[in-house]
Amino acid sequence: MAMVQVGLRTALLIGAGVVGAGGIPKVAEILAELQEALASQIAMLARDVRQLASNNNAVIQVDMGNGGAGSALILPVAAVGAVSYCYMWWNGITFSSLMYVTKRNMANAVASMTKHLEQVQGSLAAAKKHLSQRIQHVDDKLEQQEISGQIRDQVTGAKLKIKNIGSDMDNIKNMVIGLDEKMDSIEQNRKGCNEQ
């Protein structure tokens, strides 16, 4: 009986969907076919129950159909699917929006990763610039130290040259004094020769 009620409810829901789509003649055909199928199933079940009641044997045989164990899973899977669909419908989610969410999430993830990579690239560029400036600063200091060392060497060389020039000047001064003395002595000799 419960099976018949579920079948009728399903038929009514399907019929409502078809009526809403403008298929009134089809609804009547579908309902007639379902009614015939249900009537034959009910007649067959009633015959089986009468036969079991007439036999004193308590053997119940369940025919799983041609599907075997797979057909036993159809009902639970269908129930889970129906509950899932109802939950999605209740929350306003459609299958197309799920696909859109997936695409949007993928686009968001790609955009986020791109933004993160750009930040990493910017950080690397800033670090490279900072390190280049530090290396240039160190190079400048080394160059200044080399220049300072060269200037110090040149100053030391200039001091030595000045000392050499000073000693050369002393030598020239001594030579001039020596020449002056010789000139004085030559002049005295000449005066002495001229007086005689």
Q: Which tens digits make up the pLDDT trace of 130-177?
A: 998 999 998 888 888 888 888 888 888 888 888 888 888 888 888 888
Q: Which tens digits make up the pLDDT trace of 65-121?
A: 555 555 667 777 888 888 888 888 888 877 766 665 567 777 787 888 889 889 999
With 0-12 / 13-18 / 19 or more C-beta atoms within 10 angstroms meaning exposed / middle / buried, residue 153 is exposed
**Helical segments of the chain, H only:** 2-20, 24-54, 69-90, 95-195
Residue of 46, 9, 15, 47 lying closest to 29 (CA atoms): 15
- d(Cα 134, Cα 1) in Å, to the nearest integer? 89
Model's pTM, two decimal places? 0.31
Enter the tokens of residue 53.
């009641």
The residue with tokens 């200037």 is 151
Enter the tokens of residue 73.
């899973």
Pair 1, 41: CB distance under 8 Å: no
Pair 50, 23: CB distance under 8 Å: no
